[in-house]
Structure 1
Amino acid sequence: MLSEKQIKEFKQQLEEMKRDTEEELKDYRKEQKESDYQKDNTGEISSVADHPGNLGTDQFEQEKELTFYEQARERLMEVNDALKRIEEGRFGVSEKSGEPIPVERLEAIPTARFKVDEVEEGQS
């Protein structure tokens, strides 16, 4: 079982991860607004690029940014879930077996919900 000191350290780490991720999401939304604003102020009649290659590049960049945004959203949900488990006294305990998750795993992935062997079992 985790000591109170360890739980406090994991909580601090998770809260820092939460702040960083929220800042990342905020920056993404700000960039999207600025990007949309710049498109509106170009004076172009059409939003279609002059060259088909530019359109493909723009689409790729938008999809890449959206992927990063979605990953950040998922990370934030995982962090919030881990913080909730701390508050409920369930942090560091596998949701599958109810056994303690090794500290080494939590140090590597503080949002871990299962032991390594349980994750591997589900992928077989």
Structure 2
Amino acid sequence: MLSDKQKQQFKDRLLEMKEEAEAQMEEYKEDQAKEDYENDRTGEISSVADHPGDQGTDQFERAKEQTFYEQAREKLMEVEDALKRMEEGRYGLSEKSGEPIPVERLEAMPTARYKVEEIENEANN
């Protein structure tokens, strides 16, 4: 079981992760707001594309930004769920077996829900 000090350290780390994810999502939203003024976003002076490749590059960049946004959103959901488990007294316990998750795993992945062995066993079945 985790000590109160360890729980507080993990809670602090989770709150930092939450702030990071929220900042990443906010940054994406600000970039999306610039879409009304496409030239501001791309740095182009003219609204006419110089080359068809520019359109592909812009499309690629938008898709990449959308992927980063989705990753930040998923991270935020995982962190909020871990914080909820902490409030309910279930943090650090496997959702599958109810056994304690090793501290080393929580240090590597504070949002962990399962022990590594349980994930490996599931993958092998």
- TM (norm. structure 1) is 0.89
CA deviations 1:46-77 (Å, max 9, x no partner) are 7xx34221111111111111111000000000
Distance in 1 separating the partners of 2:31 and 2:58: 14
**CA–CA separation in structure 2 for the residues paired with 1:13 and 1:122:** 28
Who is 1:28 aligned against?
28
- Among the aligned pairs, what percent are the same residue? 60
Counterpart CA distance in 1 for 2:68 and 2:120 is 26
How far, CA to CA, are the matches of 1:55 and 1:39 in structure 2?
12
Q: In structure 1, how many angstroms separate the alpha carbons of the residues matched to 2:67 and 2:29?
A: 13
79-88 vs 8-17, which moves further: 8-17
Q: What SS class does the counterpart of residue 74 from structure 2 fall into?
A: helix
Q: Secondary structure at the match of 1:17?
A: helix
Q: Give the Cα separation in 1 of the matches to 2:123 and 2:61.
A: 32
| Structure 2 counterpart of 1:92, one-letter code | G
Looking at structure 1, the residues matched to 39 and 91 of structure 2 have their Cα atoms a distance apart, in angstroms, of 48
Cα-Cα RMSD: 1.7
Does residue 37 (structure 1) correspond to residue 42 (structure 2)? The answer is no
Distance in 2 (alpha carbons) for counterparts of 1:81 and 1:66: 23
Question: What TM-score comes out, normalization by structure 2 length?
Answer: 0.88
Comparing 76-85 with 55-64, which one deviates more in the overlay? Answer: 55-64
Alignment gaps of 5+ in structure 1: none
Secondary structure of 1:92's counterpart equals coil
Instruction: Measure, in 2, the Cα distance between the counterparts of 1:114 and 1:107.
Output: 13
In structure 1, give the amino acid aligned to 2:96: K
What's the counterpart of residue 102 of structure 2? 102
Establish whether residue 74 from structure 1 lines up as the match of residue 74 from structure 2.
Answer: yes
Number of residue pairs matched?
120
